[in-house]
Amino acid sequence: MCVPAPILSKIGVWIWLSIIVSSIALIFERLATLHLKSEFQLSQGPLGPAIFIIAIFYDITILILSIKESKFVEEVVEESQLDQWPVPAKEKGEDDENIRTMAMWSCINYWILAVCQSGLAASGLYLAARAALFFGIPPSDSRNVVIEIGGLAFVFAEMAMLGYIATCCIVRHVEITTYMASSQA
């Protein structure tokens, strides 16, 4: 059985897409809310660009952890010079090394999962606050409905992406466990 592919191969495109969309949305909102005399001048929402900054923070954190996991898998495969992992133990001390390597691999996976879960919680709190302000404040000149609905849609999309990454981490853990059981059998 081959070493499972790094998690970055499954989630990398989604993370980069989220970073790019968040950055463009942040720039657009900043430019649109500047106090310039233009026909595109919009007023800033009650929470401003917070969700875009939150999304960029969580996406970069997940990207860094998944790159670290990817490098870890590459190092393990290079060290073993085999297409399987862990390296079959020749001495009693090497078994301990395999267990430490497995623990490290699972630890990185759990950190990615933890960041996803905290990102989902932060996005959920933001969604609740944004919805409460959107539906609780009477319409006025100081609120742009398009920006508000765009912000809410962005939050739903970010939560869906974080949910997908969390699911990939859970599946990844099962793959790692299955691989370890088959390679030691």
Backbone angles phi and psi of 65, in degrees to 5: -65, -40
CA 11 to chain centre: 8
Nearest CA to 66 among 156, 88, 74, 33? 74
Nearest CA to 152 among 2, 38, 31, 47? 47
Query: pLDDT averaged over consecutive 10-residue blocks of the chain (185 residues)?
Result: 76 91 85 59 60 88 89 73 48 57 76 87 85 71 66 87 89 79 66
Residue 97 has what pLDDT? 62
DSSP string, 42-78: -PPPTTTTHHHHHHHHHHHHHHHHHHHHHHHHHHHHH
Nearest CA to 79 among 100, 62, 64, 63? 100
Residues in the chain: 185
Separation of alpha carbons 61 and 47, rounded Å: 23
CA 63 to chain centre: 7
**Cβ neighbours around 54 below 10 Å, total:** 18
Nearest CA to 154 among 25, 10, 20, 9? 25
Q: What is the pTM of this model?
A: 0.74
Residue 17 has what pLDDT? 92
Structural domain boundaries in the chain: 8-83+92-184
* Per-residue pLDDT tens digits for 164-174: 998 888 888 88
Structure tokens at 24: 């463009």
CA 33 to chain centre: 28
- Helix count (H) and strand count (E) of the chain? 4, 0
Check if the beta carbon of residue 158 is closer than 8 Å to that of residue 55: yes
Residue 86 has what pLDDT? 47
